Structure 1
Amino acid sequence: MNADASAALAAVPPATAAEPERGAWDRYRPWRRPVEIAFWVVLFAINAAAGTLTSIIDIHRYGLDIPDWAPLVWETSSCATALALVPALVWFTRAVPLQLDGWRRTLALHLLASVVWSVLHVVGMVAIRQAVYASVGERYELGGWGINLVYEYLKDARSYGYMVLWIEGYRLLLRRLQGEASVLAPPDDLPEPAQPERPERFLVRKLGKEFLVAANEVEWLQASSNYVNLRVRGRDYPLRSTMAAIEGQLDPGRFARVHRSYIVNLDCVGEIEPLESGDARITMRDGSQVPCSRRYRAALRRERRAG
């Protein structure tokens, strides 16, 4: 066990090694989705307003024969299309998170994604502009598509990078609020075992504080990008690991794999409901539900009978 973990274990007796009181994460969680949606809407609305105002000022400064409504159409079409693409970007960053391991592959995938983002952005905003122009009896043309796609990509690539960095930074902040878990390491003065030891406790760091969670208190585990979320008494604590790695460390008599993305604590399973598809739905003792794929359903039934 490393020095920090040893100190934490020695300092926290079983009676006090419990979950901290309701904090910032619990207060923020009910507001998380509306806050995130509002952030993106406000961000793009401000960009559209600022871009429109800047363009109108430039038009009047240089005496260009362009109606004042045109910059509003240009900016709102661009921002509306980018806003519509945000959910896809959020999904992609979950599938390909920024990480040092395999950074070349990650960078290549994000460069490719930035090209796709830019093309979709240009096609979407041009379609909106053409529709608006046509409604007032005008015609909108982008011009040379080749050079304009390159021009737009140079702008979109920067926007893509800023958004990815913001998303990853925001997720890092959420993990700090939520609390990150780690497996307590073996003592430094002991030889490393040939097989990974089964963790009896997880050390959770949350906003500069540490507390312990017993492994048998984990109700289920869910894969989430390059993390595995530990569900404990209604809260999720991200553990930097893979499902395969953590599954190999858990007690097979207590924990069972029920899905590609889920492992459940058999002591916390309430009932298993078969589905027509051959899969099943697991209802935990606290009323929450976890999917069970047909691949693991028979093994889960045997383990339940054995328990």
Structure 2
Amino acid sequence: MTGMISLRKFYRACLPSRNERFLWGVVSVVTLVIVAVNALSILTEAARRGDSLDARTPWITEATSAVFIILLFPLVSWFVRRLTLDAAGMKKAVIAHLGLSIAFSAIHVAGMVGLRKLIFWGFFDSNYSFLDVVWRDALYEYRKDVVTYIMFVSLLYLVQALVRREEALQEGTRQTPDKRLAFKSGSELIWIKPCDFLYAKAAGNYVELYTANAMHLVRLSMTGLERQLTDAGVNVIRIHRSFTVNAECILSVKPKSDGDAEVVLQDGSKVPASRRYRAQLSALGG
């Protein structure tokens, strides 16, 4: 049990982000699909040639290879996060990945051959032979494994780049809070600075948008407004089914006997807060 927990922690350390774990899941599913396709293809080709082949053999050989491919992906991810492809680290990363691709192939081949030998000995009472001419067969396997390794590394660097781009966009939004947002109000188009937003109230198909100086009736859903404000760097929180506020403008929260509360904003406005949303208000204090 302790060993399983330690193994889980190890893989969590190799795949700390949700994006990396999702990619591992995708790689695992695709690898298993390839196992099925290859095993069935081998059986079909054997039947066409009239060869006598135990139906279990291709499934065993393909699955044992796939197991180690899937298990090695998190380790590749761990190294990718530490080997940057910027101008300063490019040469080091390329040399390191060349060596790591050899290690990847060696571990993959040694693992799958060892597992095959164990299975063939246990289920077929026979010896599994893999390498006839060591250098030739090792090179053959490396040619295949290096393609897999390059694919893994490319996918991980791509995800890494996309995440960094998204973070840069979000950081840029946070650093430019004075960029104005446009809203349709009746026949007019209005602009407000995100930092001027105080609170909003749902009004049917419209939203009453309040700033320190005015109220604007805009045709927009509350969810859509929250999304725009959040993207603009405003810390908005829903405090009621019909009300959302700028968390930075909250002055105080006055609890009521029925479990609801009243939120007082910096301009003196008072906004109702439902007990269903009290957790969001409580989180502000943390």
Instruction: Calculate the TM-score normalised by the size of structure 2.
Output: 0.51
Aligned length: 166
CA offset at residue 233 of structure 1? 11
1:138 matches 2:138? no
The structure that has the greater radius of gyration is 2
Partner of 1:124: 111
1:115 matches 2:102? yes
Aligned mates of 1:126, 1:102 — CA distance in 2: 35
Partner of 1:192: none
CA offset at residue 62 of structure 1? 2.5
| One-letter identity of the residue aligned with 2:137 | N
The structure-2 alpha-carbon separation of the partners of 1:46 and 1:108, relative to structure 1 and needing over 3 Å to count, comes to same
CA offset at residue 60 of structure 1? 1.9
Aligned partner of 1:174 among 163, 166, 170: 163
Secondary structure at the aligned position of 2:121 is classed as helix
Aligned partner of 1:77 among 64, 86, 95: 64
Partner of 1:93: 80
The structure-2 alpha-carbon separation of the partners of 1:34 and 1:89, relative to structure 1 and needing over 3 Å to count, comes to closer
CA offset at residue 34 of structure 1? 5.6
1:54 matches 2:41? yes
CA contact (8 A) 2:120 2:127 kept: yes
Aligned mates of 1:99, 1:84 — CA distance in 2: 28
Aligned partner of 2:22 among 21, 24, 35: 35
The structure-2 alpha-carbon separation of the partners of 1:233 and 1:158, relative to structure 1 and needing over 3 Å to count, comes to farther
CA offset at residue 133 of structure 1? 0.8
Partner of 2:137: 148
Aligned mates of 2:27, 2:52 — CA distance in 1: 33
The structure-2 alpha-carbon separation of the partners of 1:78 and 1:30, relative to structure 1 and needing over 3 Å to count, comes to closer
1:204 matches 2:171? yes
Aligned mates of 1:56, 1:172 — CA distance in 2: 41
CA contact (8 A) 1:52 1:71 kept: yes
Partner of 1:273: none
| One-letter identity of the residue aligned with 1:153 | Y
| One-letter identity of the residue aligned with 2:116 | R
Secondary structure at the aligned position of 2:128 is classed as coil
Q: Which runs of 5+ in 2 are unaligned?
A: 1-15, 178-232, 236-283
The structure-2 alpha-carbon separation of the partners of 1:103 and 1:176, relative to structure 1 and needing over 3 Å to count, comes to closer
The structure-2 alpha-carbon separation of the partners of 1:83 and 1:233, relative to structure 1 and needing over 3 Å to count, comes to farther
CA RMSD, Structure 1 to Structure 2 (Å):
3.0
Tell me: higher relative CO, structure 1 or 2? Use CA pairs within 8 A at least 6 residues apart.
Answer: 1
CA contact (8 A) 1:99 1:106 kept: no
Describe the superposition over 1:63-100 as per-residue Cα deviations: whole angstroms up to 9, x where unpaired: 33321211101111001011111111110111113334
Q: Which runs of 5+ in 1 are unaligned?
A: 1-28, 182-202, 215-231, 235-284, 288-307
Aligned mates of 1:149, 1:213 — CA distance in 2: 56
